[in-house]
Amino acid sequence: MTTETLTERIDALMKGAVDLHVHSGPSLHPRKVDHFEVMRQAEAAGMRAVLLKDHYYPTMPIATLINKHLGLKTQCLGSIVLNNPVGGLNPSAVDYALKQGACIVWMATAHSKNHMDHEAKEAGFKDKFPVNTKKTVAAIPATLTDEKGKVRDEVKLILDLIAENDAAVSGGHHHISELYPFYEEAKARGVKRLFLNHPTYVNEATFQDIAQLVSMGVAIEHSICMFIPSTYQMFDDAHLKAAIDAAGVDNTFFGSDLGQNNNPTPVEGFRAIIEVLIRLGYDDAAIRKMTATNAATLVGL
Protein backbone atom coordinates (compact mmCIF):
# COMPACT_ATOMS: atom_id res chain seq x y z
CA MET A 1 0.00 0.00 0.00
CA THR A 2 1.43 3.39 -0.97
CA THR A 3 1.61 6.25 1.50
CA GLU A 4 -1.01 8.11 -0.51
CA THR A 5 -3.36 5.13 -0.52
CA LEU A 6 -2.87 4.63 3.24
CA THR A 7 -3.64 8.31 3.89
CA GLU A 8 -6.80 8.10 1.80
CA ARG A 9 -7.89 4.97 3.63
CA ILE A 10 -7.36 6.62 7.01
CA ASP A 11 -9.18 9.75 5.84
CA ALA A 12 -12.18 7.62 4.87
CA LEU A 13 -12.20 5.72 8.16
CA MET A 14 -12.09 8.97 10.15
CA LYS A 15 -15.46 9.91 8.69
CA GLY A 16 -18.01 9.02 11.35
CA ALA A 17 -15.45 8.12 14.04
CA VAL A 18 -16.56 8.48 17.68
CA ASP A 19 -14.16 9.38 20.51
CA LEU A 20 -15.65 8.89 23.98
CA HIS A 21 -12.48 9.80 25.87
CA VAL A 22 -11.10 13.29 25.20
CA HIS A 23 -9.12 15.28 27.77
CA SER A 24 -9.24 18.82 26.44
CA GLY A 25 -8.99 21.97 28.52
CA PRO A 26 -9.35 24.04 30.54
CA SER A 27 -8.27 21.66 33.29
CA LEU A 28 -6.02 21.49 36.33
CA HIS A 29 -3.99 19.09 34.19
CA PRO A 30 -1.88 20.71 31.44
CA ARG A 31 -3.73 20.50 28.12
CA LYS A 32 -2.61 20.90 24.52
CA VAL A 33 -6.07 21.72 23.13
CA ASP A 34 -9.18 23.27 24.61
CA HIS A 35 -12.75 22.06 24.15
CA PHE A 36 -13.48 24.35 21.19
CA GLU A 37 -10.25 23.42 19.42
CA VAL A 38 -10.75 19.69 19.79
CA MET A 39 -14.30 19.90 18.49
CA ARG A 40 -13.29 21.98 15.48
CA GLN A 41 -10.51 19.50 14.69
CA ALA A 42 -12.96 16.61 14.97
CA GLU A 43 -15.35 18.44 12.64
CA ALA A 44 -12.60 18.95 10.06
CA ALA A 45 -11.84 15.21 10.18
CA GLY A 46 -15.51 14.32 9.70
CA MET A 47 -15.95 12.66 13.10
CA ARG A 48 -19.46 11.91 14.30
CA ALA A 49 -19.10 12.64 18.03
CA VAL A 50 -16.63 13.51 20.77
CA LEU A 51 -17.14 13.11 24.51
CA LEU A 52 -15.39 15.54 26.84
CA LYS A 53 -13.98 13.99 29.99
CA ASP A 54 -12.40 15.92 32.82
CA HIS A 55 -11.29 14.18 35.99
CA TYR A 56 -12.53 17.01 38.19
CA TYR A 57 -15.62 18.66 36.73
CA PRO A 58 -18.74 17.62 34.77
CA THR A 59 -18.71 18.61 31.10
CA MET A 60 -22.41 18.60 30.16
CA PRO A 61 -22.85 22.41 30.28
CA ILE A 62 -19.85 22.85 27.99
CA ALA A 63 -21.19 20.23 25.57
CA THR A 64 -24.57 21.99 25.52
CA LEU A 65 -22.99 25.34 24.67
CA ILE A 66 -20.78 23.83 21.97
CA ASN A 67 -23.70 22.08 20.31
CA LYS A 68 -25.82 25.23 20.45
CA HIS A 69 -23.34 27.89 19.38
CA LEU A 70 -20.45 26.47 17.33
CA GLY A 71 -22.54 25.24 14.43
CA LEU A 72 -20.68 21.94 14.07
CA LYS A 73 -21.94 18.70 12.60
CA THR A 74 -19.79 16.75 15.07
CA GLN A 75 -21.81 16.19 18.24
CA CYS A 76 -20.29 17.06 21.61
CA LEU A 77 -21.19 14.78 24.52
CA GLY A 78 -20.89 15.40 28.26
CA SER A 79 -19.89 13.22 31.19
CA ILE A 80 -19.13 13.18 34.91
CA VAL A 81 -16.22 11.55 36.74
CA LEU A 82 -16.83 10.72 40.39
CA ASN A 83 -13.65 12.06 41.95
CA ASN A 84 -13.47 14.22 45.08
CA PRO A 85 -14.41 17.62 43.54
CA VAL A 86 -17.98 16.37 42.85
CA GLY A 87 -18.21 14.68 46.25
CA GLY A 88 -16.73 11.35 45.20
CA LEU A 89 -19.21 8.50 44.75
CA ASN A 90 -22.02 10.99 45.17
CA PRO A 91 -25.56 10.05 44.00
CA SER A 92 -26.69 13.68 44.04
CA ALA A 93 -23.93 14.74 41.66
CA VAL A 94 -24.87 11.87 39.34
CA ASP A 95 -28.58 12.74 39.52
CA TYR A 96 -27.96 16.35 38.52
CA ALA A 97 -25.45 15.38 35.82
CA LEU A 98 -27.80 12.89 34.19
CA LYS A 99 -30.63 15.43 34.22
CA GLN A 100 -28.33 17.84 32.38
CA GLY A 101 -27.57 15.28 29.69
CA ALA A 102 -24.50 13.34 30.84
CA CYS A 103 -24.31 10.16 28.78
CA ILE A 104 -21.40 8.56 30.66
CA VAL A 105 -20.76 8.26 34.38
CA TRP A 106 -17.24 7.26 35.28
CA MET A 107 -16.55 5.86 38.72
CA ALA A 108 -13.54 7.38 40.48
CA THR A 109 -10.35 7.65 38.46
CA ALA A 110 -7.49 9.60 40.07
CA HIS A 111 -9.22 9.38 43.46
CA SER A 112 -9.96 5.68 43.49
CA LYS A 113 -8.04 3.92 46.24
CA ASN A 114 -6.56 1.63 43.62
CA HIS A 115 -5.19 4.56 41.61
CA MET A 116 -3.84 6.29 44.71
CA ASP A 117 -2.19 3.07 45.88
CA HIS A 118 -0.42 2.82 42.52
CA GLU A 119 0.76 6.41 42.84
CA ALA A 120 2.16 5.76 46.31
CA LYS A 121 3.85 2.43 45.63
CA GLU A 122 4.69 2.10 41.95
CA ALA A 123 7.86 3.78 40.72
CA GLY A 124 7.19 5.77 37.57
CA PHE A 125 3.40 5.58 37.83
CA LYS A 126 3.07 9.35 38.14
CA ASP A 127 4.99 9.71 34.88
CA LYS A 128 2.07 7.91 33.20
CA PHE A 129 -0.61 10.20 34.64
CA PRO A 130 -0.87 14.01 34.53
CA VAL A 131 0.01 16.04 37.61
CA ASN A 132 -2.14 18.98 38.70
CA THR A 133 -0.73 22.41 37.90
CA LYS A 134 -1.79 23.66 41.35
CA LYS A 135 -1.62 22.06 44.78
CA THR A 136 -4.97 20.69 45.96
CA VAL A 137 -6.22 19.31 49.26
CA ALA A 138 -5.44 15.67 49.97
CA ALA A 139 -7.88 13.33 48.23
CA ILE A 140 -10.10 10.86 50.06
CA PRO A 141 -9.70 7.46 48.37
CA ALA A 142 -12.82 5.83 46.99
CA THR A 143 -13.75 2.15 46.77
CA LEU A 144 -16.75 0.56 45.07
CA THR A 145 -16.98 -2.21 47.66
CA ASP A 146 -16.80 -2.37 51.45
CA GLU A 147 -14.44 -4.42 53.62
CA LYS A 148 -16.62 -7.50 52.98
CA GLY A 149 -16.44 -7.07 49.21
CA LYS A 150 -20.05 -5.92 48.93
CA VAL A 151 -21.02 -3.02 46.66
CA ARG A 152 -21.53 0.14 48.70
CA ASP A 153 -25.05 1.52 49.17
CA GLU A 154 -24.19 4.85 47.55
CA VAL A 155 -22.86 2.99 44.50
CA LYS A 156 -26.11 1.02 44.29
CA LEU A 157 -28.08 4.28 44.25
CA ILE A 158 -25.79 5.66 41.56
CA LEU A 159 -26.40 2.54 39.47
CA ASP A 160 -30.17 2.93 39.92
CA LEU A 161 -29.94 6.49 38.59
CA ILE A 162 -27.84 5.38 35.62
CA ALA A 163 -30.33 2.62 34.81
CA GLU A 164 -33.27 5.02 35.09
CA ASN A 165 -31.63 7.38 32.61
CA ASP A 166 -30.27 4.66 30.31
CA ALA A 167 -26.76 6.13 30.57
CA ALA A 168 -23.43 4.33 30.27
CA VAL A 169 -21.08 3.56 33.15
CA SER A 170 -17.40 2.75 33.44
CA GLY A 171 -15.66 1.29 36.48
CA GLY A 172 -13.04 4.04 36.25
CA HIS A 173 -9.68 3.24 37.81
CA HIS A 174 -10.90 0.77 40.41
CA HIS A 175 -9.19 -2.60 40.75
CA ILE A 176 -10.50 -5.61 38.85
CA SER A 177 -11.41 -7.28 42.16
CA GLU A 178 -13.92 -4.44 42.78
CA LEU A 179 -15.15 -4.41 39.20
CA TYR A 180 -16.62 -7.91 39.13
CA PRO A 181 -19.17 -7.23 41.90
CA PHE A 182 -19.70 -3.71 40.56
CA TYR A 183 -20.71 -4.83 37.08
CA GLU A 184 -22.82 -7.68 38.46
CA GLU A 185 -24.67 -5.15 40.62
CA ALA A 186 -25.04 -2.82 37.65
CA LYS A 187 -26.61 -5.58 35.56
CA ALA A 188 -28.93 -6.61 38.41
CA ARG A 189 -30.13 -3.01 38.70
CA GLY A 190 -30.91 -2.71 35.01
CA VAL A 191 -27.90 -0.84 33.65
CA LYS A 192 -27.57 -1.82 29.99
CA ARG A 193 -24.58 0.25 28.87
CA LEU A 194 -21.48 -1.12 30.59
CA PHE A 195 -17.84 -0.60 29.67
CA LEU A 196 -14.35 -0.50 31.10
CA ASN A 197 -11.53 1.69 29.86
CA HIS A 198 -7.82 0.67 29.61
CA PRO A 199 -8.42 -2.64 31.47
CA THR A 200 -4.79 -3.81 31.50
CA TYR A 201 -3.48 -0.49 32.83
CA VAL A 202 -4.32 0.58 36.39
CA ASN A 203 -7.33 -1.76 36.65
CA GLU A 204 -4.90 -4.73 36.43
CA ALA A 205 -7.21 -6.91 34.36
CA THR A 206 -5.72 -9.86 32.49
CA PHE A 207 -6.78 -10.97 29.02
CA GLN A 208 -8.80 -13.67 30.77
CA ASP A 209 -10.53 -10.97 32.84
CA ILE A 210 -11.34 -9.08 29.64
CA ALA A 211 -13.02 -12.16 28.20
CA GLN A 212 -14.95 -12.70 31.44
CA LEU A 213 -16.10 -9.08 31.59
CA VAL A 214 -17.28 -9.26 27.99
CA SER A 215 -19.28 -12.40 28.85
CA MET A 216 -21.00 -10.25 31.49
CA GLY A 217 -21.96 -7.63 28.90
CA VAL A 218 -19.09 -5.19 29.51
CA ALA A 219 -17.61 -3.51 26.43
CA ILE A 220 -13.88 -2.76 26.43
CA GLU A 221 -12.44 0.65 25.59
CA HIS A 222 -8.71 0.92 24.88
CA SER A 223 -6.84 4.19 25.32
CA ILE A 224 -5.16 5.09 22.04
CA CYS A 225 -2.41 7.01 23.83
CA MET A 226 -1.10 3.74 25.30
CA PHE A 227 -0.53 2.13 21.88
CA ILE A 228 0.96 4.95 19.79
CA PRO A 229 4.00 7.22 20.25
CA SER A 230 3.06 9.46 23.19
CA THR A 231 4.16 10.16 26.74
CA TYR A 232 1.78 7.37 27.83
CA GLN A 233 2.78 4.65 25.37
CA MET A 234 3.26 1.42 27.29
CA PHE A 235 1.92 -1.45 25.15
CA ASP A 236 3.02 -2.94 21.83
CA ASP A 237 1.03 -4.24 18.86
CA ALA A 238 1.08 -7.80 20.20
CA HIS A 239 -0.55 -6.68 23.45
CA LEU A 240 -3.23 -4.82 21.52
CA LYS A 241 -3.94 -7.78 19.25
CA ALA A 242 -4.24 -10.09 22.27
CA ALA A 243 -6.58 -7.66 24.03
CA ILE A 244 -8.81 -7.36 20.96
CA ASP A 245 -8.82 -11.15 20.57
CA ALA A 246 -9.85 -11.53 24.21
CA ALA A 247 -12.89 -9.28 23.81
CA GLY A 248 -13.66 -9.68 20.11
CA VAL A 249 -14.00 -6.89 17.57
CA ASP A 250 -17.72 -6.48 18.35
CA ASN A 251 -16.96 -5.69 22.01
CA THR A 252 -13.91 -3.44 21.51
CA PHE A 253 -13.67 0.29 20.87
CA PHE A 254 -11.07 3.03 21.12
CA GLY A 255 -11.01 6.36 22.93
CA SER A 256 -8.08 8.66 22.35
CA ASP A 257 -7.49 9.51 26.05
CA LEU A 258 -5.56 12.44 24.57
CA GLY A 259 -5.46 16.21 24.87
CA GLN A 260 -2.39 16.51 27.12
CA ASN A 261 0.68 18.60 26.42
CA ASN A 262 3.51 16.94 24.47
CA ASN A 263 1.16 14.39 22.90
CA PRO A 264 -0.72 13.98 19.64
CA THR A 265 -4.14 15.64 19.52
CA PRO A 266 -7.17 13.35 19.80
CA VAL A 267 -7.69 13.49 16.01
CA GLU A 268 -4.02 12.69 15.39
CA GLY A 269 -4.32 9.82 17.86
CA PHE A 270 -7.33 8.38 16.06
CA ARG A 271 -5.49 8.52 12.75
CA ALA A 272 -2.51 6.77 14.34
CA ILE A 273 -4.55 3.92 15.84
CA ILE A 274 -6.34 3.35 12.53
CA GLU A 275 -2.91 2.94 10.96
CA VAL A 276 -1.95 0.44 13.70
CA LEU A 277 -5.14 -1.55 13.11
CA ILE A 278 -4.46 -1.61 9.37
CA ARG A 279 -0.94 -2.86 10.11
CA LEU A 280 -2.42 -5.61 12.28
CA GLY A 281 -4.48 -6.77 9.33
CA TYR A 282 -8.00 -5.66 10.28
CA ASP A 283 -10.28 -4.82 7.37
CA ASP A 284 -12.22 -1.57 7.10
CA ALA A 285 -15.43 -3.09 8.46
CA ALA A 286 -13.69 -4.24 11.65
CA ILE A 287 -11.83 -0.95 12.05
CA ARG A 288 -15.05 1.02 11.65
CA LYS A 289 -16.68 -1.07 14.38
CA MET A 290 -13.82 -0.36 16.78
CA THR A 291 -13.49 3.36 15.97
CA ALA A 292 -17.10 4.34 15.36
CA THR A 293 -20.00 1.90 15.53
CA ASN A 294 -19.36 0.20 18.87
CA ALA A 295 -18.82 3.47 20.72
CA ALA A 296 -21.88 5.03 19.09
CA THR A 297 -24.01 2.07 20.13
CA LEU A 298 -22.71 2.25 23.70
CA VAL A 299 -24.02 5.78 24.18
CA GLY A 300 -27.13 5.39 22.05
CA LEU A 301 -26.18 7.54 19.06
pLDDT at 72 over 80: yes
pLDDT in the model for residue 2: 82
pLDDT at 219 over 90: yes
The burial class, CB within 10 Å (0-12 / 13-18 / 19+), for 117 is middle
pLDDT in the model for residue 172: 97
pLDDT at 126 over 70: no
pLDDT in the model for residue 134: 76
Region 78-88 average pLDDT? 97
Distances 209 to 15, 183, 213, 218, 298 between C-alpha atoms, Å = 32, 13, 6, 11, 20
pTM: 0.95
Distances 294 to 57, 102, 143 between C-alpha atoms, Å = 26, 19, 29
Percent of the chain with pLDDT over 90: 89
Residue-range definition of the domain harbouring residue 264:
3-298
pLDDT at 183 over 70: yes
Region 25-31 average pLDDT? 84
pLDDT at 117 over 90: yes
* Mean of pLDDT over the chain: 95
b (16+ CB within 10 A) / e for 86-108: bebbbbebbbbbbeebbbbbbbb
Q: Rounded to the nearest 5°, which phi and psi values hold at 222?
A: -105, 140
pLDDT in the model for residue 31: 86
Region 55-81 average pLDDT? 97
Q: Rounded to the nearest 5°, which phi and psi values hold at 297?
A: -65, -40
Distances 106 to 112, 144, 172, 195, 257 between C-alpha atoms, Å = 11, 12, 5, 10, 14
pLDDT in the model for residue 135: 82
Instruction: Give the C-alpha separation, 14 to 19, whole Å.
Output: 11
Strand-by-strand arrangement of the 49-52 sheet: 18-22, 49-52, 75-77
Q: What is the DSSP letter of 260?
A: B
Q: CB 261: neighbour CB atoms within 10 A?
A: 12
The CATH number given to whatever domain includes residue 225 is 3.20.20.140
Region 56-65 average pLDDT? 97
Under the banding of pLDDT at 50, 70 and 90, the label for residue 27 is confident
pLDDT in the model for residue 127: 62
Specify the number of domains making up the chain.
1
pLDDT in the model for residue 3: 81
Region 118-129 average pLDDT? 72
User: Kind and range of the H or E element at 18?
Assistant: strand 18-22
